[in-house]
Structure 1
Amino acid sequence: MKLFHCQCCGAILYFENTVCLKCGHMLGYLPDADRMLAVVADGPVWRALPDSAAPADQATDPGPLRFCRNWERSACNWMHRSAAGDGDGPAGYCLACLHNRTVPDLSTPAHVKLWTKMEAAKRRLMYSVLRLNLPRPLPDSGHPEPLVFEFLADDPGSTEKVLTGHSDGVITIALIEADDTARETRRSQMGEAYRTLLGHFRHEVGHYYWDLLVRDGDALEDCRALFGDERADYAEAMKKHYDMGAPEGWENRFVSAYATMHPWEDWAETWAHYLHMVDTLETASALGLRVDAGQSLAAKVDADPHHSRDAGQLIGNWVPLTLALNSLNRSMGQSDLYPFSLPADVQTKLRFVHDLVQRCHPEPAA
């Protein structure tokens, strides 16, 4: 993710900030401008404060703004433009929250805390979706498979648990995954190297984009050649995976043990790692990071990965960067931040994902 700065005082801002800790102004993210703005109330709307670093003749005013309706619950810091005569815009929700269909019962305080963490992860996902110009049909757009989120809590009166997954455009995330202790317990029990809330979003949206970019595109046969035939019985594959585990030598062909279960899961895991790579490389580029761990493990991350046409360059920067990140984590007594390797077969799959994504992403203006 890029670095944001307060236009009033120049302080560095995190994507989740709602107040500038240096000058105290309210903050909101305007996605169509990709800007974090310091704002002040102006009657029923908000106005961006002047950019202290911009010459007066180059200053841009985004006009009247409104916060997402979920801002009122401290669950969103995104804004949208307030068009004349439209009240508070389309249902009052931002570009990310318009995709919500179901949220947990917010009269339960514990649900509110977990839901706000869920929304923060979703906004990180949607930042990538917007930056990569991926299709994101809205629920009321008439599209046969709009992008929809459901955040569901377990019913305390039932033994059945909510399952995180995707079906026909609907991405369901179990609310319990926002509980760090519960999620870490599940990770340990299932022998996973990595399990995060954002990782769930990136994985499940991978299933969604398989439908739109592979199944409904012209890439089905090429995808099968790399990932396998998705027509293989999923229930049988799942049972075999949990009964027998990943096959011996899987590390040479797959990015994770879970990816070995079924071609759909191999695709979704690879897609999630592609989003991990692109977002983290953008952050590294914004920070001006360089890695020099020897001739074959050197990287100067100085380009926007969203606009890169060369998957090889992304992977070439990613490998030494993950070495650096893991080394730094170990220096703090933590486990590896990125506990994965990228053998040649996985790199080929990542290139395939990259090429599909780039079809959605036009060349930047000269």
Structure 2
Amino acid sequence: MSSTPRCPHCRHFVYLDALTCPQCGGELGFNLLDRRFHGIRDGYTVIEGVAWYTCSNRGWGCNWLVRDDAPAGQCFSCRLTRRRPAADDTIALEKWGKVEEAKRRLLLQLGSLGLPIVPWDTKPGGLGFDLISSLSGGERVVIGHANGIITIDLAESLDDRREALRVKLGEPYRTILGHLRHEVGHYYQSVLLTDDAAWAACRDLFGDERTSYQDAIARHYSLGAPEGWQQTHISEYATMHPWEDFAETFAHYLHITGTLGTAAAIGIHLDASATNLRDTDVVPRDSYRDEPVQRLLSDWDWMSEAFNRIKRSMGFGDLYPFDLVATVRRKLGFVHDIVTHAPLTLEEQIAAARPEVEERT
């Protein structure tokens, strides 16, 4: 987001998942193209002479808008969902609606970063999502990524279940958005590394991903992370295999840029006098695309410390309970480089898709 989302009727702040304004009660719809909320009347609105309708999944919480020629009346985000719960499984559908909310936030960030999104139904290996529940129909659901398809277990949207797994696995952080950011990292590793030189540089930092993944899984769950892993990896899970190290690092890059972008949008900054060790104010940016990774990480060092202190003042744990050691910073620098050199920005992707499917990225 380039600015704080506001109600078009009264200019009050609204959250990204809002269907109506909490201040004036006006009905709202979000347009991916201009990243703004628009007022809805009788199920549609007109933007620059074009009619946009509410998504057919609005009853399950989707507030994105759809051009009148979109397939099945579904927004771009909903069309990326390949599998969802059955129509009569209302309990699973409620959980699905919450996961779709996190997915829309993910897609909005990917678009803001200018990352290419090729839908699963337009090209083999394109991005898609299977959002299904291990608590329905006895199906075994494993969170993961394969050939562009990200699978999420809707049972993870249950706070008690997710917290139990977080404690069992010794994780400091576990959320649906975190899962999505991790799994999309697997997708972008294959999308953004397009030549031998890029893969060689990646292997030099993260290790050779061609080593046996099954052996790595067995070793990790029998022996755990190697001693001293904190000096080389962002998390214990990242030590399992080079694939996971890249995906974990990519997820943290999204955590960092997403949170700094939100701070920038609402005007949060730190005065130099409050930081003691810095001569200039810490002013987060909406985009770090044209900035070196050192600027990104320096701003994050200060802002994450401030956010941690705020959370502790409420009796909670740290917002960002991770240490960015030198090796991890180099890995984040690699991710920053390939992200900021992605082949197309969101606007360029939209322009290239006209006039057939203008809304698709």
Given the two structures, how large is their TM-score scaled by the length of structure 2?
0.89
Distance 1:317 1:77 in 2: 32
What's the counterpart of residue 247 of structure 1? 226
Counterpart check, 1:357 vs 2:336: no
Matches within 5 A, 1:9-28: 9-28=10-29
Shift of 1:62: 5.6
Shift of 1:348: 0.8
CA displacement 1:255-299 (0-9 Å, x = unmatched): 111111110000000000000111100111112212333215975
Distance 2:116 2:289 in 1: 16
Give yes or no for contact 1:289–1:300 (8 Å, CA) kept in 2: no
Q: 1:199 aligns with which of 161, 173, 178?
A: 178
Gaps of 5+ in 2: 348-361
Aligned residue for 1:12, secondary structure, equals coil
Report the count of equivalent residues: 343
Change (3 A) 1:240 1:297: farther
Distance 2:165 2:345 in 1: 42
What's the counterpart of residue 352 of structure 2? none
Distance 1:138 1:216 in 2: 22
What's the counterpart of residue 56 of structure 2? 69
Change (3 A) 1:285 1:92: same
Change (3 A) 1:300 1:144: same
Matches within 5 A, 1:184-195: 184-195=163-174
Give yes or no for contact 1:75–1:115 (8 Å, CA) kept in 2: no
Q: 1:305 aligns with which of 287, 293, 302?
A: 287
Distance 1:119 1:362 in 2: 25
Counterpart check, 1:127 vs 2:125: no
Matches within 5 A, 1:36-47: 36-41=37-42, 46-47=44-45
Aligned residue for 1:172, secondary structure, equals strand
Shift of 1:107: 1.4
Gaps of 5+ in 1: 49-59
Give yes or no for contact 1:326–1:336 (8 Å, CA) kept in 2: yes
Aligned residue for 1:47, secondary structure, equals strand
What's the counterpart of residue 51 of structure 1? none
Amino-acid identity (%): 41
What's the counterpart of residue 5 of structure 1? 6
Distance 1:21 1:361 in 2: 39
Aligned residue for 1:223, secondary structure, equals helix
Aligned residue for 1:4, secondary structure, equals coil
What's the counterpart of residue 326 of structure 2? 344
Distance 1:124 1:299 in 2: 29
Change (3 A) 1:106 1:327: farther
What's the counterpart of residue 275 of structure 1? 254
Give yes or no for contact 1:100–1:148 (8 Å, CA) kept in 2: yes
Aligned residue for 1:295, secondary structure, equals coil
Matches within 5 A, 1:174-323: 174-214=153-193, 219-291=198-270, 292-296=274-278, 300-305=282-287, 307-323=289-305
Give yes or no for contact 1:297–1:320 (8 Å, CA) kept in 2: no
Give yes or no for contact 1:28–1:79 (8 Å, CA) kept in 2: yes
Aligned residue for 1:29, secondary structure, equals strand
Counterpart check, 1:140 vs 2:150: no
Aligned residue for 2:114, secondary structure, equals coil
Distance 1:324 1:226 in 2: 30
Distance 2:113 2:244 in 1: 22
Higher RCO (CA-CA < 8 Å; seq separation 6+)? 2
What's the counterpart of residue 31 of structure 1? 32
Give yes or no for contact 1:309–1:358 (8 Å, CA) kept in 2: no
